[in-house]
Amino acid sequence: MTVSPAKKLVYAGIYVLKKLDLKGGEGGIRLPVLLEPQHAPLEPVLESLVMDGYIEIDRKAQLYKLTKRGVNYLGKLIDEAESYIDEFDEVEIVDILDELHARNIDPLRVRFMWGWYQGEFDDVAMFQERRGFVEIEPDWPLFIVSDDFYENLELDVEGDEPEALPG
């Protein structure tokens, strides 16, 4: 399984929406329109979020901000993640995968949403340490768009050492 660039944009966008929604002390960020070098990997993600109407540029503050549509979308994402957790919290991973395939739901999306909602990816360095990455990428913008992140998540939905989905 390989994650398409389009799916990476969606998942990275979901991650960014959460970061924009949270307060600074809770892990939130303020993203300036003129991106700092460490945020440069987010450029296509931000462009996609703007095109979808989930964020906009606050011209006065020169920052990206959530739109009403973005807040509503974030609410739907939270509901989606909560529904997966409520339904599958005590279910074996094999049974979860069978059920997701039967419903034609992408297991990687469920895996991503689960970890995203529960804060598993909030500290990307800690996530990588727990998952046994040889080299740790400390910059979250680079990590959330990297092949390494998604390839590692795919291990959980291919049956190789599932960690985050219950079972």
Q: What Å distances lie between residue 51 and 34, 40, 70, 88, CA to CA?
A: 17, 18, 11, 33
Kindly indicate the confidence band of residue 161, based on its pLDDT and cuts at 50, 70 and 90: very low
Q: What is the mean pLDDT of residues 98-114?
A: 92
Kindly indicate the confidence band of residue 25, based on its pLDDT and cuts at 50, 70 and 90: confident
Task: Note the pLDDT tens digit of each residue in 38-73.
Answer: 999 999 999 999 999 999 999 999 999 999 999 999
Q: What is the spatial distance between Cα 31 and Cα 20, in angstroms, rounded to a whole number? A: 8
Kindly indicate the confidence band of residue 22, based on its pLDDT and cuts at 50, 70 and 90: very high
For residue 167, pLDDT beyond 50: no
For residue 32, pLDDT beyond 80: yes
Task: Note the pLDDT tens digit of each residue in 124-155.
Answer: 999 999 999 999 999 999 999 999 999 999 99
For residue 159, pLDDT beyond 80: no
What's the token pair of residue 134? Answer: 């040889």
Q: What is the spatial distance between Cα 88 and Cα 67, in angstroms, rounded to a whole number? A: 32
Burial class (CB in 10 A: 0-12, 13-18, 19+), 152: middle
Q: What is the mean pLDDT of residues 107-130?
A: 95
Task: Note the pLDDT tens digit of each residue in 73-103.
Answer: 999 999 999 999 999 988 888 888 888 989 9
